[in-house]
Amino acid sequence: PGEKDALKDRIRALLAAQNAVLVAHYYTDADLQALAEETGGYVADSLEMARFGTESDAETLVVCGVRFMGETAKILNPEKRVLMPDLGATCSLDEGCPADAFRAFCDAHPDHTVVVYANTSAQVKARSDWVVTSSIALPVVEHLASEGKKILWAPDKHLGHYVERVTGADMLLWDGACVVHEEFKSFALERVRKLHPDAAVLVHPESPDEVVDQADVVGSTTQLIKAVAEMPNPEFIVATDAGIFWKMHQLAPGKKLIPAPTAGEGATCESCAHCPWMAMNALQNLERVLQTWDQEIQIDAEVRERAVMPIQRMLDFAR
């Protein structure tokens, strides 16, 4: 603990000296989330992380999360330095949607409005009409469907299918998935629900249909956290990355939080879902990047110019 406290002190000093703020996602290590909060930074879902970057006066944004979050921050704030503890922190959705193949898919369906999930590269966003996060996908697609638009959706097929089912929109789906949320098991979840009849089931919409179908609340990380704080249930079964429990415990300390099963009956916390790329963010590489600036996000100017419009559209729509 002594060594960790000293490390945190050094990071606090580096942040202050460089007019830098931490913007952390709820799936990152609890130490990083706590440090972000206590140093004037922010912990949020991916939509709020993007918005915070545009509102902050800091010269440097240090994005603790995965690469697309850093890229979005840089696209929206080209004048700021955007650092990440490790630029190798990617996302299976981003990896599963290479820009060339995606452009060819769009070119083959020119009559469709292209809506991409935020979990994509800057190049993919540059080919889109709209960017959405899980917190705003439903109203954006509802709005487009009300104008009679057909939608090409990428890359998460589970979120896409959920949005299609709720809105009734005409959607063509890319075949991508999140390796973390795809692991939630519906049969095992049914058993856990029977063991906890008073529990509300909270599900991130990157999960498979049969898991989403059992949810009391489907939503982004922020929306699921709000549900724990506001719903009267004493227990919650949570189908998303285990990093979220830190904030849930903080806001609702008296409530029991049960990880949704990923490995069949009897799943324990060792089998809790945790994104391997989010786990690449740590106090040690955070200190290092503040000393060396060697993990800085750079975006090609032409790509940035094209990608900023669909992201800004999302932020304007969310207001």
How many chain residues bind ligand 13P (CB under 6 A)? 12
Cα–Cα distances in angstroms (integers) from residue 114 to residues 111, 141, 146, in the given order: 9, 11, 16
Cα–Cα distances in angstroms (integers) from residue 40 to residues 18, 63, 120, 217, 289, in the given order: 13, 14, 28, 30, 19
Task: Identify which of 64, 61, 66 has the alpha carbon closest to the alpha carbon of residue 82.
Answer: 61
The answer to the question of residue 277 lying near ligand SF4 (CB under 6 A) is: yes
In angstroms, what is the minimal distance from the CB of 14 to ligand SF4?
26
The answer to the question of residue 93 lying near ligand SF4 (CB under 6 A) is: yes
The answer to the question of residue 206 lying near ligand 13P (CB under 6 A) is: yes
The answer to the question of residue 206 lying near ligand SF4 (CB under 6 A) is: yes
Cα–Cα distances in angstroms (integers) from residue 27 to residues 15, 32, 107, 213, 250, in the given order: 21, 10, 35, 23, 14
Place of tokens 């469907």: 145
* One of 23, 66, 224, 297 touching ligand SF4 (CB under 6 A): 66
DSSP H or E stretch at residue 229: helix 221-230
* One of 31, 45, 164, 241 touching ligand SF4 (CB under 6 A): 241
Contacts (CB under 6 A) with ligand 13P, residues 123-142: 133-135
Binds 134: which of ligand 13P, ligand SF4, none (CB < 5-8 Å by kind): ligand 13P
DSSP notation for 18-38: TTEEEEEETTS-HHHHHHHHH
CA 113, chain centre distance (Å): 23
Q: CA 155 to CA 176: how far, in whole Å?
A: 5
Binds 179: which of ligand SF4, ligand 13P, none (CB < 5-8 Å by kind): ligand SF4
In angstroms, what is the minimal distance from the CB of 241 to ligand 13P?
6
Binds 220: which of ligand SF4, ligand 13P, none (CB < 5-8 Å by kind): ligand 13P
Contacts (CB under 6 A) with ligand SF4, residues 143-172: none
The answer to the question of residue 178 lying near ligand 13P (CB under 6 A) is: yes
How do the residues of the chain divide into helix, strand and coil, expressed in percent and rounded to 5?
Answer: 50, 15, 35
In angstroms, what is the minimal distance from the CB of 221 to ligand 13P?
4
- Tokens found for residue 217: 């609340």
The answer to the question of residue 134 lying near ligand SF4 (CB under 6 A) is: no
93, 120 Cβ separation under 8 angstroms: yes
The answer to the question of residue 48 lying near ligand SF4 (CB under 6 A) is: no
In angstroms, what is the minimal distance from the CB of 319 to ligand 13P?
17
Closer of 86 and 206 to ligand 13P (Cβ): 206
Positive/negative CA dihedral, 115, 118, 119, 121: positive
Interface residue list for ligand 13P (CB under 6 A): 45-47, 119, 133-135, 178, 204, 206, 220-221
Q: Which residues bind ligand SF4 (CB under 6 A)?
A: 66, 91-93, 119, 178-181, 206, 241, 275, 277-278
